[in-house]
Amino acid sequence: MSEHIRVSTADGVCRIEMHRPEKKNALTRAMYDAMADALEGAARDEAVRCVLFAGAGDAFTAGNDINDFRNRPQDGGVKPASRVYSALVRYEKPVVAAVGGLAIGIGTTMLLHCDIVIAAEEARFRTPFVDLGVVPELGSSLLLPRLCGRHRAAELLLLGDFFDARRAAEIGLVNRVVPRAELEATAMEVARRLADKPPAALRLTKSLLCRDQEEILARIEEEGALFAQRLLSPETQAILAGVLKPKA
């Protein structure tokens, strides 16, 4: 288990916290592995009825760690991340997210696989894949147009600008926007309410809502192949080198 992923369980809720606040909770391969372990463990644990994702400090997650991008094996392997992707797509128990701040890249796209998302008023979202020389991931090229329409999705994915919590709620990415001081309590209340529901009925209802798993997984595989190719391209390597270049 990575020191940067903290897991606790109480009242039927497994809380998974991305805890790397000094790096805005940017995700490393070790963190992906730990998140996958936590998700798979919670799936097997009958005492867990709901999963709650949160981030430490003033961020949900700033996305993938850029150093991991550059140091990725030459085969473009994304296995640690793909474990999390597969778990999220296939997850039978309800998943809640508490977004307290920055949600960049996968910090935004993973919300498409959560059942209920609560965001703080200060939360800010961004999908900067094109700006990094890569392509969208986690099925977002399929799910985002379904959520908010092709033109809005194109604006978010092609321009890659920041958007705030109110905008996220407007397009359906977020269920509720609350003051930062109320975020944790509100999200935990929602998670506990879900955990108190009849588990079989809850699981079956979620399965009815999520009948397109194979299509999503196929799109994730397609995105992943393009993503891996782009990571090795001169264009993307130059962009990432510029991102990491020390400031004068």
Q: Per-residue pLDDT averaged across 182-208, rounded?
A: 97
The reply to whether 204 falls in a domain is: no
The reply to whether 235 falls in a domain is: no
* Residue 66 scores a pLDDT above 90: no
Residue 248: per-residue pLDDT: 47
The reply to whether 221 falls in a domain is: no
Residue 241: per-residue pLDDT: 86
Instruction: Tally the domains of the chain.
Output: 1
Residue-number span of the structural domain to which 40 is assigned: 5-182
The reply to whether 178 falls in a domain is: yes
The reply to whether 201 falls in a domain is: no
Provide the CA 213 distance to its chain's centre, in angstroms. 17
The reply to whether 115 falls in a domain is: yes
Q: 101 pLDDT band (50/70/90 cuts)?
A: very high
For residue 67, the domain's CATH number is 3.90.226.10
Provide the CA 107 distance to its chain's centre, in angstroms. 4
The reply to whether 58 falls in a domain is: yes
Phi, psi of 89 (to 5 degrees): -65, -40
For residue 144, the surrounding DSSP H or E stretch is helix 140-148
Q: What is the pTM of this model?
A: 0.94
Instruction: Return mean pLDDT, the chain.
Output: 93
Residue 100: per-residue pLDDT: 97
| 160-165 long-range contacts, CB within 8 A, separation 24+ | 160/126, 160/127, 160/128, 160/129, 160/130, 160/131, 161/126, 162/124, 162/125, 162/126, 163/124, 163/125, 163/126, 164/123, 164/124, 164/125, 165/99, 165/119, 165/120, 165/121, 165/122, 165/123, 165/124, 165/125
The reply to whether 241 falls in a domain is: no
Q: 234 pLDDT band (50/70/90 cuts)?
A: very high
